[in-house]
Amino acid sequence: MLRRDFAAIRQDFPALQQLVHGKPLAYLDNAASGQSPRAVHEAVAQQQSHDHSNVHRGVHSLSERSTAAYEGARHKIGRFINASIEEVIFTRGTTESINLVAATFGQRLKAGDEVLITWLEHHSNIVPWQLLCERTGARLVVTPIRDDGSLDTAEFDRQLGKRTKIVAFAHVSNALGTINPVAEMTAKAHAAGAVVLIDGAQAVPHMRVDMRSLDCDFYAFSGHKMFGPTGTGVLYGKRTLLAEMPPYQGGGDMILTVSFEATTYNSLPYKFEAGTPNITGVVGLGAAVDYLEEIDFDAVAEHERTLLEYATQRLLDDIPGARVIGTAAQKASVLSFVIDGIHPHDLGTIVDREGVAIRTGHHCAMPVMDRFGVPATARASFAFYNDYGDVDRLIAGLTRAVEIFRG
């Protein structure tokens, strides 16, 4: 039976049991990085303590155990996202996954072609396409967002055209929590003849994603957002496209044979995994997937929805001058806000003294901040292990900040 007792689940996360500044931790920075359950720590410790060895190349027992655990994680991820193992490329995270596609598939672009992105994007889904356009002479086109933080879908439809070769967009906005209609957007992009990349960093920890159902061409996500180790990530790519693309880097497992005259490349997925990988991190990521497979994601969605509604209402009712940035009808568990007369960085510092961890700043989404005319926001982001008590502690900390700044 899938787990849905979130109070019990919370006990699986050692970091959540600690005191910060003498007060119980309320960790509300999950959009930046999720905490890891004990099962992930144990898998990492086992790999480091007993199985530490390189993968794929050794015939001794430690190497064989490392290889089995490393490739086992690939199989787990393939099942988790409904993809074949040849389509699961290990990277350092969403950023590297997007850069990989821009640097390899992007080679086919030429002057006059267009890359379509949206105003909601994280910098990691902006800058690689800017660099690609600089190299190729292609043009970057950006779909605007409405005042509530939702995508202007009518403008998206208008901007799609014969020149559109790549369409890249977030599944969920990290700065606002907006959930894009990604399946619909993908179908429209395909109808226009474009290839689609989805930044799924903020989606995978909160909802089931199915590559066959989405039908996107590429999907990128990060291990540390989904309660695994940092420095790990995945690029899903359709097998036919990956087979046509040149390697991203050279050396190590991405080759079959090397001579001074020519090199033949390895089969998928290894063609894109040069050098010694983050073996321990990937093993930990596999353990994170095992953990997530035990969770009822329908219950997660409902739990996080009620937390977001409760936090939003309390913020607006109890904190004078508070304003929510991003009020789209379809939102994930991200509450981005400002309070009149108090800089978000000051809010973050004060609530930290109360044991509450939130994110402040532009959230690597400066165009979003420009769109709403603010230099930064405070952002509370929830995961399934959060509860109403965490929200109450946040509101108490914000109340304290208002008292300090307004007397």
> Residues 39, 85, 364, 374: which is the catalytic one?
364
Q: Which residue has the tokens 């994170």?
A: 288
Q: Which of 335, 311, 317 is nearest to 325 (CA)?
A: 335
Q: Return d(Cα 19, Cα 359) in angstroms, integer.
A: 19
3-state secondary structure of 3: strand
**Residue 49, CA distances (Å) to 35, 69, 324 in order:** 22, 14, 47
Whether 364 is catalytic is yes
For the chain, give percent helix, strand, coil, nearest 5: 45, 20, 35
Task: Name residues whose C-beta falls within 8 Å of residue 26's C-beta, 6 or more positions apart in sequence.
Answer: 355, 356, 357, 386, 389, 390, 393, 394
Closest to 184 measured CA to CA, from 159, 213, 158, 206: 213
Instruction: Give me the active site residues, please.
Output: 364
